[in-house]
């Protein structure tokens, strides 16, 4: 079956612009996660959805970052007034139930570059 997909694969934008990053999880997975991976670092948690609701958004760095999952499937990560420090690879993952032992399946990521 299809894995987690993310679009676009690359996004270049200018400082101050707004961007949207999209994630299509594995069909039937109720849990969806966003992570950010900076150069030389492991992925860092941003937000976790259980169904349509954000169960944990404690990893969002500030109020310029927002994510939605309106129908419990596709999710969009939105970044307002982008800054150069937002440049990173944004990873999306999904899991079947969100349970702690569940395997999280990762997409290939969106590489965001803010000039």
Binding site for another protein (CB under 8 A): 3-4, 33, 35, 40-45, 48, 55-56, 59, 91, 93, 98, 100-101, 103-109
> Given the complex with another protein, which of 73 and 104 has the nearer CB atom?
104
Please, what is the minimum distance in Å from the beta carbon of residue 20 to another protein? 20
Q: In the complex, what is the shortest distance from the CB of residue 95 to another protein, in angstroms, rounded to a whole number?
A: 10
CB of 107 to another protein, least distance (A): 5
Residue nearer to another protein on the CB measure, 60 or 79: 60
The token duo for 75 is 């999710």
Alpha-carbon distance 17 to 46, whole Å? Answer: 20
Nearest to 87 by CA among 7, 5, 14: 14
CA distance 74 to 25: 6
CB of 9 to another protein, least distance (A): 9
Distances 20 to 15, 40, 96 between C-alpha atoms, Å: 14, 24, 25
Q: How far does the chain reach from its first CA to its final CA, in angstroms?
A: 37
Q: Which residue, 10 or 80, is less far from another protein as judged by CB?
A: 10
The radius of gyration of the chain's CA atoms, rounded to the nearest angstrom, is 13
Nearest to another protein of 35, 65 (CB atom): 35
């Amino acid at each position: 079956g299809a894995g987690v997909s993310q679009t676009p694969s690359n996004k270049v934008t200018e400082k101050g612009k707004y961007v949207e990053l999209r994630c299509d999880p594995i069909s039937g997975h109720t849990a969806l996660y966003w992570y950010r991976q900076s150069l030389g670092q492991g992925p860092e948690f941003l937000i976790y959805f259980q169904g349509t609701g954000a169960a944990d958004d404690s990893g969002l760095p500030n109020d310029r970052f927002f994510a939605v999952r309106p129908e419990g499937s596709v999710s969009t990560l939105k970044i307002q007034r982008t800054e150069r420090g937002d440049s990173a690879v944004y990873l999306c993952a999904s899991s079947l139930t969100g349970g702690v032992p569940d395997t999280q399946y990762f997409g290939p990521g969106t590489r965001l570059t803010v000039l």
